[in-house]
Chains A and B, each alone.
Chain A
Amino acid sequence: MARTPRYAREVAVVAFAQSDHRRRTDELSEVEMVMPVLHQVLARTGLKAGEIGFTCSGSSDYLAGRAFSFTMTLDGVGAWPPISESHVEMDGAWALYEAWVKIQTGEADTALVYAYGKSSPGPVRDVLTRQLDPYYLAPLWPDSVALAALQAQALIDAGETDEPALAAIGARSRASARTGNPHAQLTGAVPQGDYQVRPLRTGDCPPIGDGAAAVVLAAGDTARRLCERPAWITGIDHRIEAHALGLRDLTDSPSTRIAAEHAGLFEAPVDTAELHAPFSSQEVVLRKALGLDEGVAVNRSGGALAANPVMAAGLIRIGEAAARIHRRESDRAVAHATSGPCLQQNLVAVLEGDRA
């Protein structure tokens, strides 16, 4: 099938790997956690680290409280003699975006993208308050669950959802993970539990845990050589909204919608969606912004409600969507990643497989 030539070069996800996501990984340093995933993703392409044109990673030093932790994990790549490399203090989905741009410029034909998060050493709900406006928000230490709960209440007040519907999203996600995702941290029936911050209950919130993921990108014929059915990135875009929560309509996500338009999502139907919605209520917002109907398979991997390694969970959405295309379980998929409080920043990628 002919695709719209939106970009200078055809670029595809040709391999994806991820760790098992677990509540703690005390017995492993960050590089010890990441390295097996790097080896797996390279083995899937047959490439050696030295044959990769560009390497880009996403992580945050704040999670484990370790300054320059990404320089340590680079040891797992084999970065000597010096490789062409970069890092974002963001979810790995944005590292993938940088790598995709690098390939578009023609400076590389292949890229290794990886991301990891070790939330277990620190109080992640409090750690994430440090990303907020330091003048008006951070001094109040509003944690990630509290901010998501404000958004959930706004959705309930607007009549867009209710607590049973939110519970069903968590239950569906973890039921999907049980059958479809051996790497997930939470699978099957999990008690909905008490309010964490009302109206969100335990089951509406992501598990806290550690994990890593990696993707290999390749251009054109290289992609065809490395992968039987490449997951072509036919569109990718990311947009950000105002930082101040009080400026935003928390029941909508215009940044997601605009990114999706620019990625060409609305030009044809998708059969699969991997949404980075760490809280059940955020799936409601994203479904609306992306115009997903009941016919679309949403988060068959279980999504972030089944495993949420912070800084990797967005990249995993792209990897999971691509893997379904690799396995011929999808022909056209949308993957989404988010960053910041209450879906502040959003990336949308459209992935397509060649049809026979």
Chain B
Amino acid sequence: MFGLNRLPPLVRTATMMLLLGGLVGYVGTAFTTTFVADSGILGNSGESNAAHKYMLALLQRQSESLSQLGPSGDVVSRALQQQNVSQQPQDVKPLTVTYLGGASSGRVSVQIYAVEIQASGGQYQFLPFSLTLIGGRVQRVE
């Protein structure tokens, strides 16, 4: 395979071991970092990628992404959520999105953002969003 059988046995074995080690190292690190981040074992307080993506989807009214990133509800609940998102005013423009911080306890994590929004009528709002994640998935938005 891949011309490896043309190599001397020692070189072939060393190459296979190197590739195997690389694969184990890459996949193991990916699995470990994801597992640790989602389980909250280390009480991590950095920004969660899931929370970040959810906030952007919320502000950009991406109902499909919100369904994927949000709580896993029944089909009717998800349809209602999509309808809610599509009925929101289209002329709302986010000005700034600031990650304030977060904290974890076990699998539950809280991530808080401050958002500045400008509507086309000139109405300005400066409001916070608090996202509660369980196991790396957004379960509650306030």
Are chains A and B native binding partners rather than an unrelated pairing?
no
Chain A contacts to B: CB under 8 angstroms? none
Chain B contacts to A: CB under 8 angstroms? none
